Amino acid sequence: MLSLAGCGLAGFGEDDDGGEGRASADHAAVAGIDCVKKGQVSGSGSTAQQNAMKYWIKQYQRACPGVQIAYNPLGSGAGGAQFLRGATAFGGSDSALKPDQIQQSKEVCPGGRAIDLPMVGGPIAIGYDVPGVDDLVLDAPTLAKIFDKRITRWDDPEIQELNPGAKLPSIPVRPVHRSDDSGTTQNFQAYLAGAAPEVWSYPAEKSWQGRGGESASGSSGVASEVTSGFGAIGYFELSFAAASHIKTVSIDTGAPEPVVPTPQTASDGIAAAQVAGRGKDMTLKFRYRTSAPGAYPISLVTYEIVCDKGNQKETLPALKSFLTYTASEEGQKHLSRIHYAPLPRSLADQVRHVVRTLS
């Protein structure tokens, strides 16, 4: 049973003081938003998409003041768990549902099952704080060794070889990972396992699998740890690096030039992915060893988890309206301004088609 009481989620009550005239004017001005008269929709999950959700909720509720959307960035693991308990209308996760979760979802999706809809992409930036080093290049094997505590000092020969002109200090490497279950962690470990399998033999789980290192809760916590002292290196979405002015690693993929994490390079990396889900499920399969020029290899896509059938009647119209907007050209085109990677157009078209069929 969906419960909104006591959620205290960002989004409820924002921009809800307008009347029908303002809603009509805003709706006319914002393409891609097909408002419903009223509704409340709660979601929770991925911290990776929290800044995108803030943007979407603000824009949507300006156009549709009768609808209240709320999103609680608890992390992918908690978001999936809340959806599977029937506590939210949608979950946000940076990794696709597992078979046992799909089976479990049939209890909250009468006559149907939960599906994954890709909604927003972005590079997983590798942020660092190494004095005197403004441009750092690393490759998959070196990253794997750093985060598994096999490379422990910044002037290690393997790092120096990738950065021949840099004056690397002889200080300890302080790798920082997420302490909470995280789709960002799962995607980062999937990259290490896919691009450097000879070094990184751990499974791509939401919980951290490597040896040693420091930990922090959430992407914001990892970003804070990276800025707390010299020698730190951690992974988080590009928006967190930009907000805290953290330097980021360029990745040597074998392309002619190392690839910098940007919304465009992430979109180019996502464009190479294939839809691997069955039925209406749109789980993507990434190519982690791509050496295409300008394609950043450490990207994630956040999925919105919904029921293909059996969504709650009281929330379904508003849910479909909101997700149609987030996957629309209008909803996607400004994401790069806040350091996200818009979905490739053909993929966004497929998502909107599936959203229209939700019942």
- Residues 114, 144, single domain; the answer is no
138, 260: one domain = yes
Residues 73 and 49 placed together within one structural domain of the fold: yes
For residues 144 and 266, state if they share a domain.
yes
Do residues 71 and 156 share a domain? no
6 in a structural domain: no
Are 112 and 131 in the same domain?
Answer: no
Q: Is residue 279 part of a domain?
A: no
The answer to whether residue 284 sits within a structural domain is: no
CATH of the domain at 353: 3.40.190.10
Is residue 262 domain-shared with residue 346, that is, in the same domain?
A: no
Indicate the residue among 244, 270, 296 that finishes a domain: 270
Number of folded domains that form the chain: 2
The pTM assigned to this predicted structure is 0.78
Q: What is the 3-state secondary structure (H, E, C) of the chain?
A: CCCCCCCCCECCCCCCCCCHHHHHHHHHHCCCCCCCCCEEEEEEECCCCHHHHHHHHHHHHHHCCCEEEEEECCCHHHHHHHHHCCCCCEEEECCCCCHHHHHHHCCCCCCCCEEEEEEEEEEEEEEECCCCCCCCEECHHHHHHHHCCCCCECCCHHHHHHCCCCCCCCCECEEEEECCCCHHHHHHHHHHHHHCCCCCCCCCCCCCCCCCCEEECHHHHHHHHHCCCCCEEEEEEHHHHHHCCCEECEECCCCCCCECCCHHHHHHHHHCCEECCCCCCCCEECCCCCCCCCCCCCEEEEEEEEECCCCCCCCHHHHHHHHHHHCCHHHHHCHHHHCCECCCHHHHHHHHHHHHHCC
How does pLDDT run along the chain (359 residues), one tens digit per residue? 333 333 334 444 333 333 333 344 344 445 568 899 999 999 999 988 988 999 999 999 999 999 999 999 998 889 999 999 999 999 999 889 999 999 999 999 999 999 999 999 999 999 999 999 999 999 999 999 999 999 999 999 999 999 999 999 999 999 999 999 888 899 999 999 999 999 999 999 989 999 989 999 988 999 999 999 899 999 998 989 999 999 999 999 999 999 999 999 999 999 888 899 999 999 999 989 989 999 999 998 999 999 999 999 999 999 999 999 999 999 999 999 998 999 989 999 999 999 999 99
* Domain with 113 in it: 20-121+304-357
Do both 146 and 245 map to the same domain? yes
User: Residue 271: what pLDDT?
Assistant: 86
